[in-house]
Structure 1
C-alpha cells in the first residue's frame, strides 16, 4: 500500500461514503434474511466520518442521499470548508473538489484505487449502515435485542452501536487488520436519519 498524501486521504474519506451507491458491481446477491433490501436503499444520512491509517488520519461532516442505485454525497470540514461533491449511478461515479478536481471512474472501487492506490469493499457500506450484511459469506454476531452487533465480511470487521431500542445503528467502526499488526479504521457517526 502506498503512503497517503493529504489529497489522497481527502479522496479516500470522500470515496468511503460516495462509493457505496453502486453496490451492484461487487455484490453477487442480497442475503436471504433481507429479501427486500433493494427496496430499502432509500435514505438520507447526516453525520461525521473519520478515517485513520498507519500513515495519517482525517475527518469530515457528511450528508448522504441514497435513492436505490443513485446517490449524492457532500463532505465538508468545519463551517463548510473544503467541500467535496460526490455523485454516482451504475457505471458512472465522480468526485469533485477544489483539492482534487474532477475524478471519474466506472465503479466505486476503480475510483478509490485510482485516487488513492487503496482497495476496499466499500460498496458494502450501503448495507452496513442499514445493519445488514452485504453478502451471504458474512459472519454476524447479534446483541441481546437480536440486532447485528458485529459483521465480519471481506476482510473487514464492522462494529455497530445503537441508541437505546433503535433498529438502525448510530455508529459504525470499520476495521481492517494489516500485515504489520496495524489497522485501517473508519468511524461513522450518524447524527440524523
Structure 2
C-alpha cells in the first residue's frame, strides 16, 4: 500500500508542478504579447494522467482549472486511493487527500519533494499542453501542418499528438532519460478542453 500511496502522490504532485509553472518566474520566455500569454494560461482540462518511474507507476483521472497564476486540480481513481485535491497560487500550494491529509509548500517543486521525494519536477507543462515551448532554448520539430509535435527542453522530450486538424494536442508523452539508462515518463491524455 505504501508504494501505491507514493505513486498517487507522484501523480498528484506532478500535476501541481504542471499547474504552477504558469506562475513561476523564468529567466527566458518566448516573446509574445502579454495579453496572449495571459489568455493562454487560462483553461480547463479533463483527462487522464499516467506516471511511470523506475520504481513505480500509476494513473488517475483529472480535472484541471488554470486561471493565470491560480489553479485547482482534482484527481480521482488513483489506484483505489480516492480523491485528491491540489490547489495553488503564488507562494502557496496544497495537496489534500484522505490518505495523506493536508500537505503545504511554497512551490510545486517543494510540494513534490515533500510528498514523494521525487526531485525531477516538470516545470514547463502549462506551455506544453498549449503546444508551445517554455523557453527560448527549446528544440522544436513540426508536423506537415506546421504544428509543434516534439519539444526538447531542459532534459525532457515531449511528443505531442493531435486529432485531425486541431491546433492543440490531445496527448502528450513526456520522457526524461536517467543516467541509469531508464526513464521517467508522464503520459497525459486530454479528453476535454
> Normalized against structure 1, the TM-score is what?
0.91
Secondary structure at the aligned position of 1:20 is classed as helix
Please list, as runs of the form range in 1=range in 2, the aligned pairs for 1:86-165 lying within 5 A after superposition.
86-165=86-165
Out of 19, 22, 39, the residue aligned to residue 20 of structure 2 is 22
Q: How far apart, CA to CA, are the structure 2 residues paired with 1:119 and 1:133?
A: 22
Q: Is the 8 A contact 2:54 2:184 kept in 1?
A: yes
Question: How many matched pairs?
Answer: 189
Deviation per CA, 1:31-87: give whole Å up to 9, x if none.
126762233111110010001111111000000001001000000008x96100000
Please list, as runs of the form range in 1=range in 2, the aligned pairs for 1:32-47 lying within 5 A after superposition.
32=31, 36-47=36-47
1:9 aligns with 2:7: yes
Q: How far apart, CA to CA, are the structure 1 residues paired with 2:100 and 2:33?
A: 38
Equivalence for 1:184: 184
> Normalized against structure 2, the TM-score is what?
0.91
Equivalence for 1:55: 55
Secondary structure at the aligned position of 1:123 is classed as coil
Structure 2: gaps spanning 5 or more residues: none
Higher mean displacement: 104-113 or 37-46: 37-46
Q: How far apart, CA to CA, are the structure 1 residues paired with 2:176 and 2:28?
A: 23
Deviation per CA, 1:153-179: give whole Å up to 9, x if none.
111100000000000000000001111
Q: Is the 8 A contact 2:72 2:87 kept in 1?
A: yes
Compared with structure 1, are the counterparts of its residues 99 and 37 closer, same or farther at alpha carbon in structure 2 (3 Å cutoff)?
A: same
Q: How far apart, CA to CA, are the structure 2 residues paired with 1:133 and 1:112?
A: 23
Q: How far apart, CA to CA, are the structure 1 residues paired with 2:40 and 2:28?
A: 15
Q: Is the 8 A contact 1:26 1:123 kept in 2?
A: no
Question: How well do the aligned residues superpose, as a CA RMSD in angstroms?
Answer: 1.8
Equivalence for 2:174: 174
